[in-house]
Amino acid sequence: MDIVEYPDRDMLALDLANHLAGELNAALHHEERVTLVVPGGTTPGPIFDDLCAADIDWARVDVSLSDERWVPETSDRSNTKLIKERLLVNRAAAAGYLSLYAPTDTPEEGLPSLIGQYETRLPLTVVVLGMGADMHTASIFPGADNLELALSDDAPILVPMRAPNAPEPRITIAAHALA
């Protein structure tokens, strides 16, 4: 394992964006379409600001979140809003977007309309994961109602989740698909 240190967050974001662009371009040399999965939250925003300008054939890239809160995409709590404002702009505006939200009351109701678009994208090409202060990655939270299912090798690709102390339900890509 290599540990890489940076003088500041700006350099970290730029280097990671360049690395991701290189991975996507390499995959596009032998795949017709590729899928980039990214986290939400506040940390990846600066990476998106650099990545969106990268010289990539974005029309052949589909972008997805690793997880999403079950709120309308226009909500300030929506990670989709972050993606649309900070990643799917500039050159990356040509990329496709795979939503993890449907306008239903619960993720269980919306799941059938979402799962098909993901099953055809396996294996996912490039996956970036973050980790929350409570040790969750994607919406795979310690103590969540569907934690065991989300970690199972035979889980469906998308799993609805309700985490302790989370104000709304979520949907997450299962661990086996993120690996």
Q: What is the mean pLDDT of residues 138-142?
A: 90
pLDDT for the residue 164:
87
Alpha carbon distance 107, 169 (integer Å) = 7
DSSP category for residue 170: E
Mean pLDDT value across the chain: 94
- Listing DSSP states for 57-124 in one string gives -GGGEEEEESEEESS-TTSTT-HHHHHHHHTSSGGGGGSEEE-S--SSSSHHHHHHHHHHHHHTTPSP
Topology given in CATH for the domain delimited by 9-138:
Rossmann fold (3.40.50)
Among the ranges given (34-48, 90-104, 120-134), the one the predictor scored with the smallest mean pLDDT: 120-134
pLDDT for the residue 174:
97
First to last CA, the chain: 17
pLDDT for the residue 112:
95
Task: Examine the pLDDT at 134 and tell me if it is beyond 70.
Answer: no
The amino acid that residue 121 corresponds to is R
0.75 exceeded by the pTM?
A: yes
pLDDT for the residue 141:
87
Q: Which residue has the higher pLDDT, 136 or 107?
A: 107
pLDDT band at 135 (very low <50, low <70, confident <90, very high): low
Q: How many CA atoms lie within 13 A of 56 on its CB side?
A: 36
Q: Which residue has the higher pLDDT, 41 or 95?
A: 95
Alpha carbon distance 24, 91 (integer Å) = 14
* 97: its two tokens: 């977007």
